[in-house]
Structure 1
Amino acid sequence: MPNDQNSQPYAAPAPPAAAPRSFGGRTDRTGLAIALMCATSFIFAMQDAFSRMLGSEYPPVLVVMLRYWFFALFVIAMVSRQPGGLRRAIRTRRPKTQILRGAILVLETTLMVEAFVRLGLVGTHAIFTAYPLLIAALSGPILGERVGWRRWTAIGVGFVGIVIILQPGSAVLNLGSVLAFASALLFALYGLLTRHVARDDPAQVSFFWTGIAGAATVTVLGIGQWEWLAPADWIWMGLLCVCGLVSHYLLIRAYELAEASALQPFAYTQLVWVSLIGVMVFGEALHMNVVLGTAIVVAAGLFTLWRARVKGT
C-alpha cells in the first residue's frame, strides 16, 4: 500500500518518500538494516492481508481513508520531531506536484486493495512486481533520463514475464489483473514524481506532503461511502493501522542505517510472505506460470536497479 507507502516496497523509488534518509544519516550498519528490511517486508505482507480482509467487507476507499487518517497522524508526529518541525515540512517549492503525488498514491492504494479482493494477494503482487520496470521505461520521457539498451532489454524481458503471469486469453486476465497493473503504473508515476520533487524539496517535506495531501484526497473521495465497521472489524482495522506505523518506522530506520541499493533486493522477500499468506490463509492457488513469470520480472527489475546504480557511480 505501499504500499501507503504503502504496502509495496520492493524496489522503492529513491529517495523513498516514506523512508527519508535525512531522518538520521547515522553510520552504515548494513546487516541490521537488512534485518529491518526483511521484518518490514513481513509486516507489509500482514498489512496487505488485513487490507484484503477488510476490503472484501467494506468499500476499499473507506479502508484506505481510515488508514490514511492514522497515517497522517504518524507523519505529523514524525516530522514535528525533525529540525524545523512542521513549519519547515510544509514549505515546498513544488506544491502542485506534491499534492499530485499524494493523490496518485491514494488512487494506487485503493486500486491495490480492490485488486486484492478480486485477484488475491498472490496474483496482485505478481503483477505489481512490474513497477520498477515501468519506472525505468518512463524515466526517459518524464524525467529526461537516459535508458540504455541493456535496461531496455531487461524491461522487455520483464514484460515477457508479465505475459507469462497473465496468460492472455485465460481466466487470469480479468478486471483484477487490470487493476493490479494500473496500480503498478500509478506507483511508478508516484516514484518518478518523487524523484522530480527531490530536486527541490528535502525528504522530510515530501514525507509530510505524502501523508497530508493523501489524507485530504482520500477524505474527499471516501467520506461519502462512510459506514461504521462492525465491532470485531475495528480490531482488524486497528491491526492494519499498527502494522502501517511499525512498518514505516522500521523502513525509515533501515534507510538510516544503509544505502538503498543494498536493501532493495531484500524487499522482494515480501513476495514470499504474501504467497504463504495467500495460500495458507485465503486458499489461493500458486500456479507455476505465476511463479515463473514473477521470477523473470524480479530478475529483470533487479538488473535495472543494478544498471541504474552502475550508471550513477
Structure 2
Amino acid sequence: MSDNPRLGILLMIATTMVFALQDAFSRHLAETYNVLTVVLFRYWFFAAFVIGRSALRPGGLRAAARTTQPLLQIFRGVLLVAEICVMVLAFTLLGLVQSHAIFAFYPLIIAILSGPVLGEKVGWRRRAAVAVGFVGVLIILRPGLAVFAPGALVALTAAAMFALYGLLTRMAARRDSADTSFFYTGVAGAVAISLVAPFWWAPMQTPLDWFWMGCLCLTGVLGHFLLIKAYEATEASTVQPFAYLQLVFGASIGIFVFGETLEWPVAAGAAVVIGAGLFTLWRERVRGARPRGARAAPGGVAP
C-alpha cells in the first residue's frame, strides 16, 4: 500500500460527498416507493459491482468467497442491508439533517462496545468521550420533546446496528481479508433483500424515477470505489476523521434541496457528538489500536 495522506484525504472527502448524494437519492425515492424496493435495486447493482471486482482480483471469486467463518460473514452482510433499510426509513421520517446528526453517534457505540465484544481495553478517556457524545445526542433529541419520536428511535436503531456491523467487521478481519469481507457484504446482503423485498414490490412509475434509481445505484458503486482507493492511498486512521464530513454534506443537501431546517439543538448536539468521536479516533491512533491499512466504513450509511 502506498502512503499518500493528501490523496487519501481528498478521496475520503469525495467519498463522503458521493455517499451524501446517495442518501439524498434514497430519501427522494423512498418518499414514493417503499424502502425495500429502493434498497433492492441498490443492492442488486452493488452486488454486481462486488462480484465483478472479486472476479478480477487474484484468485477470482473462489478466493474472495473462501472463509473459515461463513456464519459471521453472512450475518454481517444481512445486518448491513437491514441497517440500510432502517436508515432510509429514518430519512423519510426525520429528514437528512437530523438522521445524520443522530447517526454520527455510531463510532462512539463501537468505542464502548469494543471492550465486551472484541476484548479491547476501554480506558476512562474513551468512556468519557462516549458519555460526552451521549450528551450530544440528548441535546439533539431534547428529552421530553422528541426522544420518543418514531424517527429519532429509528435513527438511533440504525446507529446501533451499524456499530454492531463495524464490530463484527473488525472481528472478521482477524481471520479474513478485506476482499473476503467486502464480497460477503455485497452478496449476502443482496440475497437477503431479494428474499424479502419482492413481497412488497413496487415497480417504477416514470422514466424520471428510473433515472433517479440509476443515480442511486451509480453513486453507491462510485462511493465504494473511492472508499477503497482512499484506504489504498494511506492509513485508515489518517482519513477516518474526514468521514464525518458526510454529516455536513448530507445536512447541506437536506437544507438546500429538501427544504429542511437546521435547528440550533441539532447543530450543537452534532458538534458535541463529532468532537467526542474525533477525540476517540485520536486516542485510537495514539494507542496504535487501528491496524495499518485496515478498512473501515465512512461516517454514514454504507454501502
Q: TM-score range by the shorter chain?
A: over 0.9
> Residue 152 of structure 1 is aligned with which of 116, 121, 127?
127
Local SS of the residue matching 1:146: coil
Match of 2:85 in 1: 110
> Aligned runs of 1:1-313 on 2, under 5 Å?
25=1, 27-171=2-146, 173-231=148-206, 232-312=208-288
Match of 1:11 in 2: none
Unaligned runs of 5+ in 1: 1-24
The percentage of counterpart residues that share the same residue type is: 55
Structure 1 moving runs of 4+ over 6 Å: none
Q: In the aligned structure 1, how far is the partner of 2:48 from the partner of 2:77? A: 15
Local SS of the residue matching 1:218: helix
Q: In the aligned structure 2, how far is the partner of 1:269 from the partner of 1:238? A: 24
What CA deviation, in whole Å up to 9, does each residue of 1:95-137 have, x standing for no partner? 0000110111011000000000000000000000000000011
Asked if the contact 1:68/1:214 (under 8 Å) is kept, the reply is yes
| Aligned residue type for 2:136 | G
Q: In the aligned structure 1, how far is the partner of 2:163 from the partner of 2:260? A: 27
| Aligned residue type for 1:65 | L
Q: In the aligned structure 1, how far is the partner of 2:116 from the partner of 2:218? A: 38
Q: How many residues align?
A: 288
| Aligned residue type for 2:195 | V
Q: In the aligned structure 2, how far is the partner of 1:189 from the partner of 1:269? A: 22
Between 1:34-43 and 1:164-173, the stretch displaced more is 164-173
Q: In the aligned structure 2, how far is the partner of 1:310 from the partner of 1:265? A: 14
| Aligned residue type for 1:307 | R
Deviation at 1:307, TM superposition (A): 1.1
Asked if the contact 2:146/2:152 (under 8 Å) is kept, the reply is no
Q: In the aligned structure 1, how far is the partner of 2:79 from the partner of 2:178? A: 18
Q: In the aligned structure 2, how far is the partner of 1:132 from the partner of 1:261? A: 13
Q: In the aligned structure 2, how far is the partner of 1:278 from the partner of 1:170? A: 22
Deviation at 1:312, TM superposition (A): 2.0
Deviation at 1:255, TM superposition (A): 0.6
Deviation at 1:173, TM superposition (A): 4.2
Q: In the aligned structure 2, how far is the partner of 1:234 from the partner of 1:94? A: 38
Q: In the aligned structure 2, how far is the partner of 1:272 from the partner of 1:158? A: 17
Q: RMSD of the TM alignment (CA)?
A: 1.0
Deviation at 1:230, TM superposition (A): 1.4
Asked if the contact 1:167/1:173 (under 8 Å) is kept, the reply is no
Deviation at 1:274, TM superposition (A): 1.0
Q: In the aligned structure 1, how far is the partner of 2:221 from the partner of 2:172? A: 24
Deviation at 1:146, TM superposition (A): 1.0
What CA deviation, in whole Å up to 9, does each residue of 1:65-87 have, x standing for no partner? 11000000000111111111101
